[in-house]
Amino acid sequence: MATKKTDYRTLSEELDGILSRLQSGELNIDEAMPAYERGMKLVKELEAYLKNAENRITELQATLQD
């Protein structure tokens, strides 16, 4: 159930941000609840990425031919 634009780095950075905001204790419950839900969604997406994403290998035609 990975999102269409799976970009591990971006999602992972967002998750780190959510964790540090929650850790700072600056969020009230109204803010903490959606942050938690978003965080759990990110964890799921990142796990799905790690389990499902495959590498794509293509060969470019070299401009220089000997």
Partner 1 sequence: MDVEVNVGELVALLNQTLDYAYPSVTVVGELANLRVSKGKWLYFDLKDDTSSVKFFGTVYMLPGPLEDGMLLKVAATPRLHNLYGFSMNVQSIQPAGEGSIKKAAELLQAKLAAEGLFDEARKRALPYPPKRIGLITSSQSAAYADFIKILTARWGGVAVELINVQVQGEPAPRQITAAIEQFNALAEPPEVLVLIRGGGSAEDLAAFSTEQVTRAVAASRVPTLVAIGHEIDLSLAELAADQRASTPSNAAELLVPDRRHELRVLTDYRQQLGRLLQQTVSDGRQALTIAGERLHAAWQQLSADELQSLRLKRQLLSAYNPESALSRGYAIIRSEQQLHTRVAQLQAGQKVTINLQDGQADATIDQIRPKKVL
* Contacts for 59 with CB less than 8 Å, ≥ 6 apart: none
Amino acid, single-letter form, for residue 23: Q
Q: Which of 8, 13, 14, 17 lies at the binding interface for partner 1 (CB under 8 A)?
A: 8
Question: Contacts with partner 1 in 36-65 (CB under 8 A)?
Answer: 36, 39-40, 43, 46-47, 49-60, 62-64
Question: Does 29 engage in binding with partner 1 (CB under 8 A)?
Answer: yes
SS3 of residue 26 by DSSP: coil
List of residues 6+ apart from 66 with CB closer than 8 A: none
Residues engaged in binding partner 1 (CB under 8 A): 6-9, 15, 18-19, 22-23, 25, 27-29, 32-33, 36, 39-40, 43, 46-47, 49-60, 62-64, 66
